[in-house]
């Protein structure tokens, strides 16, 4: 405790300068609490307002898919270029060093495999684990139109309730079943339901026709899912279009880690997301880095 004799009376009050009251930079997030906003500000870069999430959670239902056979060898070299890693607690604990300080988005729904009905998920990770692992958000799959639609929505709302208690955002991941139409109408429906029921941000696939209506009608940020592997220039074009049509970033997996040169690809994606680089320029960057390595 300081010696009372040493305490000097304050004089610098700047009575002529009102204290600033800043709004929060993320869409629909201004009324959240400090801890929630702080976590979101680690996922989304406050300067660009966007994020490059690297999704490597595929193993939770499909095992060691191409590019994720050895996360330690194939993925850790990409991690420094990702704003966020989206992954399971198993890979986090077994492979990612705790000295890695970028934010983690933890997959918390699961319980199914590619051998069975995928929409039949439950919450597979308790909230205490998310707190213990110091994560910045929790990801829950939501199957709008799927066989277990209601259950998956309730999985999400449960995590929203728990996350709100502890200041941890919930990412709703819209999943498209084999038989569902991938069009603007579907994604407007799916993303809006997730936001209405409390998701702090939502992951949606990109569609060529009307994606801007999906981002416009969703009151919280949308990040674009990558989807199946396509040629690098096409993937950069898709990311560019999504960003220009209102996405607040990407959550890409296969189109980064299955690229011919993943370290180059993630840097090219960053250029598109954070610097508004055109797909052609970003592809040039991709080739330059690829040829140097
Ligand atoms: C799938 O359910 C997982 O959440 C993946 O994270 C998601 O599909 C994104 O990965 P990709 O860009 O490979 O589609």
| pLDDT tens digits, 74-96 | 999 999 999 999 999 999 999 99
Substitution candidate for ligand 1 out of 52, 58, 87, 113 with most atoms within 8 A of CB:
58
168 has a pLDDT exceeding 60: yes
User: What integer is the mean pLDDT of 265-289?
Assistant: 98
| pLDDT of 274 strictly over 90 | yes
List, for residues 185-202, the tens digit of each pLDDT value: 999 999 999 999 999 999
- Residue of the nearest CA to atom 8 in ligand 1? 227
Token look-up 């213990």 returns 132
Residue 227 predicted with pLDDT over 60: yes
Mutation test of ligand 1: which of 225, 252, 262 has the most ligand atoms closer than 8 Å to its C-beta?
Answer: 225
- CA dist 60 and 92 (Å) reads 12
- Separation of 96 CA from ligand 1 center, angstroms? 19
On the question of pLDDT at 60 being above 70, the answer is yes
| H/E segment holding residue 264 | helix 262-275
What confidence category does residue 12 fall into, taking pLDDT thresholds of 50, 70 and 90? confident
| pLDDT for residue 232 is more than 80 | yes
- Is 203 known to be catalytic? yes
| Cα of 31 from ligand 1 centre, angstroms | 29
pLDDT at 111: 83
At 116 the pLDDT is: 87
Residue 41 confidence (pLDDT): 98
> Is 1 a residue whose pLDDT tops 60?
no
Predicted TM-score (pTM) of this structure: 0.94
* Distance separating alpha carbons of residues 22 and 152, to the nearest angstrom: 36
Residues 6+ apart with CB under 8 A from 175: 118, 119, 141, 142, 143, 146, 152
Question: Which residues fall within 8 angstroms of residue 154, CB to CB, at 6 or more apart?
Answer: none
Range list of H helices, 108-260: 127-132, 149-166, 184-196, 211-217, 232-244, 254-257
User: Which residues does a 6 A CB cutoff place in the pocket of ligand 1?
Assistant: 55, 57-58, 86, 141, 173, 225-227, 251-255
Mean per-residue pLDDT over the chain, rounded: 94
Percent above pLDDT 70 for the chain: 96
Write out the E strands in 32-187.
51-55, 84-87, 104-107, 109-110, 122-123, 137-142, 170-174
What pLDDT score was predicted for residue 176?
80
Owner of token pair 């996350």: 163
Tokens of 1: 């405790």
Atom of ligand 1 nearest to the CA of 227: 14
Q: Which atom of ligand 1 is nearest to the CA of 139?
A: 4
**Torsion on CA atoms 244, 248, 253, 256, rounded to nearest 10:** 50
Select which of 178, 203, 228, 290 is catalytic. Answer: 203
Burial-class residue 266 by CB neighbours within 10 Å (0-12, 13-18, 19+).
Answer: buried
Q: Comparing 21 with 208, which gets the higher pLDDT?
A: 208
Write down the pLDDT at residue 117: 87
pLDDT band at 119 (very low <50, low <70, confident <90, very high): confident
């Amino acid at each position: 405790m300081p010696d009372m004799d040493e305490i000097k009376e304050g004089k610098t009050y700047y009575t002529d300068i009102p204290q600033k009251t800043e709004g929060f930079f993320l869409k629909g997030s201004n009324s959240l609490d400090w801890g929630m906003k702080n976590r979101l500000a680690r996922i989304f870069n406050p300067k660009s307002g966007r994020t490059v999430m690297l999704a490597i959670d595929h193993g939770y239902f499909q095992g060691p898919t191409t590019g994720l056979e050895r996360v330690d060898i194939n993925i850790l070299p990409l991690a420094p270029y990702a704003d966020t890693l989206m992954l399971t607690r198993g890979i986090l604990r077994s492979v990612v060093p705790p000295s890695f300080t970028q934010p983690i988005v933890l997959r918390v729904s699961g319980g199914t495999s590619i051998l069975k009905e995928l929409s039949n998920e439950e919450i597979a990770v308790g909230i205490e684990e998310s707190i213990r692992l110091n994560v910045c958000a929790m990801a829950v799959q939501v199957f709008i139109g799927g066989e277990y639609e209601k259950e998956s929505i309730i999985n999400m709302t449960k995590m929203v309730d728990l996350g709100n208690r502890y200041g941890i955002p919930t990412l709703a991941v819209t999943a498209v079943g084999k038989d569902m139409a991938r069009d603007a109408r579907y994604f407007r429906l799916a993303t809006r339901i997730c936001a209405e029921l409390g998701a702090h941000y939502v992951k949606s696939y990109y569609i060529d026709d009307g994606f801007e209506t999906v981002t416009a009608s969703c009151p919280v940020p949308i990040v674009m899912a990558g989807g199946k592997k396509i040629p690098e220039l096409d993937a950069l074009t898709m990311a560019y279009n999504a960003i220009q049509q209102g996405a607040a970033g990407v959550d890409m997996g296969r189109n980064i880690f299955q690229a011919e040169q993943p370290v180059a690809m993630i840097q090219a994606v960053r250029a598109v997301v954070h610097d508004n680089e055109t797909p052609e320029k970003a592809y040039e960057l991709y080739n330059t880095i690829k040829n140097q390595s």
